[in-house]
Amino acid sequence: MRFDRKQLLLYGVTDRSWLNGQTLYEQVRQALEGGVSFLQLREKNLSEQAFLEEAKEIQKLCREYKVPFIINDNVDLALEIDADGVHVGQDDMEAGEVRKRLGEDKIIGEDKIIGVSAHSVEEALRAEKCGATYLGSGAVFGSGTKKDVGTLDHEVLKEICAAVQIPVVAIGGISRDNILQLKGTGIDGVAVISAIFAQKDIRAAAQELRKLSEEVCR
């Protein structure tokens, strides 16, 4: 799939904490129907086999909606199912190593999306130099998902956006109530978890966030 930075506008990150009797597949479909434009499958506690089966199902769904589908951390799994890419944190494999693993000097490797978490201008520049496709920067607000991550000052977020040529996605504690505070930072999109997947009406939550994200990223 050809990557376009506009696809990062509403970036959904899965979390099975709020399934409430639904399957993750059902919830992802509702999110895609609501306007999620990029999807990261994030699983910390599934067995490899269960993760593989789930990834194949949700990948198929994302292809139906023509939405990029990437895997969190697990480069081997991304390779096995030919996902659109992978997202890695600062403590995971460096972007350059990920690029090699995905196919050194091959078109398949060059085409893969590699997202890297960056919390400073220095980390952002290093990730860009190593071949990252986009950056995920945060937490821009207090995050309930990653309690060990400090809050990123919005001025630093601005500096990161200005320092790199690749797109930047804001992540961490973003909701319908605070998203407009990110206006003017230079971000290309917002990554959300509970603001979509913890809501009673996932489709409606995604629709509202999509409109708000368009306003922020104008």
Q: Which residues contact 202 (CB under 8 A, 6 or more apart)?
A: 27, 30, 31, 34, 196
| Residue 39, phi then psi, degrees to nearest 5 | -135, 130
Nearest to 120 by CA among 163, 84, 79, 87: 163
137 is catalytic: no
Q: Which residues contact 193 (CB under 8 A, 6 or more apart)?
A: 12, 13, 14, 15, 145
Please report the DSSP string for 150-186 in residue order: PPPPHHHHHHHHHH-SS-EEEESS--TTTGGGGTTS-
What is the identity of the amino acid at 8? L
Catalytic site residue from 29, 37, 99, 117: 117
Catalytic site residue from 42, 99, 112, 203: 42
Catalytic site residue from 56, 146, 158, 210: 146
Nearest to 91 by CA among 72, 66, 69: 72
> How far out from the chain centre does Cα 173 lie?
14
176 is catalytic: no
117 is catalytic: yes
Nearest to 186 by CA among 204, 169, 211: 169
| Residue 87, phi then psi, degrees to nearest 5 | -115, 130
- Catalytic positions, please? 42, 117, 146
